[in-house]
Amino acid sequence: MSLCARDVSLSLGHSEALAGICLDVSPGTLTAVIGPNGAGKTSLLRVLSGELEPSTGTVEIDGDQIDALNPAELAERRSAMGQSTPLAFDFLVDEVLAMGWVQSRCRATQCTAMCEAARKCDITHLFGRPFRSLSGGERQRVHFARALLQVWPHSATANTRVGTRYMLLDEPTSSMDIAQEILLLHVARSVLAHSVGILMVLHNLNLAARFADCVVLIDQGKIVAAGPPDRVLTNDLLSSVYRTPVLVERHDALGRLVVHTH
What does the binding site for other proteins look like in residue numbers (CB under 8 A)? 46, 49-51, 70-76, 78-82, 84-85, 87-92, 94-96, 99-100, 102, 111-112, 114-115, 118-119, 124, 127-128, 150
In angstroms, what is the minimal distance from the CB of 41 to other proteins? 15
In angstroms, what is the minimal distance from the CB of 76 to other proteins? 7
SS3 86: coil
Cβ-based neighbours of 250, under 8 Å, separated by 6 or more: 256, 257, 258
Residue in 82, 132, 77, 69 with CA at minimum distance from that of residue 102? 77
Give 124-164 as a 3 state SS string.
HHHCCCEHHHCCHHHHHHHHHHHHHHHCCCCCCCCCCCCCC
SS3 92: strand
In angstroms, what is the minimal distance from the CB of 104 to other proteins? 14
Nearer to other proteins, 111 or 178 (CB): 111
Nearer to other proteins, 115 or 224 (CB): 115
Identity of the amino acid at 208 = A
Nearer to other proteins, 115 or 182 (CB): 115
Nearer to other proteins, 151 or 202 (CB): 151
Element (DSSP H or E) covering residue 63: none
Element (DSSP H or E) covering residue 232: helix 229-232
Nearer to other proteins, 111 or 179 (CB): 111
In angstroms, what is the minimal distance from the CB of 69 to other proteins? 10
Nearer to other proteins, 77 or 246 (CB): 77
In angstroms, what is the minimal distance from the CB of 167 to other proteins? 10
Sign of the C-alpha dihedral computed for residues 131, 132, 137 and 143 taken in this order: positive
In angstroms, what is the minimal distance from the CB of 216 to other proteins? 21
Alpha carbon 132 to its chain's center: 23
Residue in 98, 119, 97 with CA at minimum distance from that of residue 107? 98
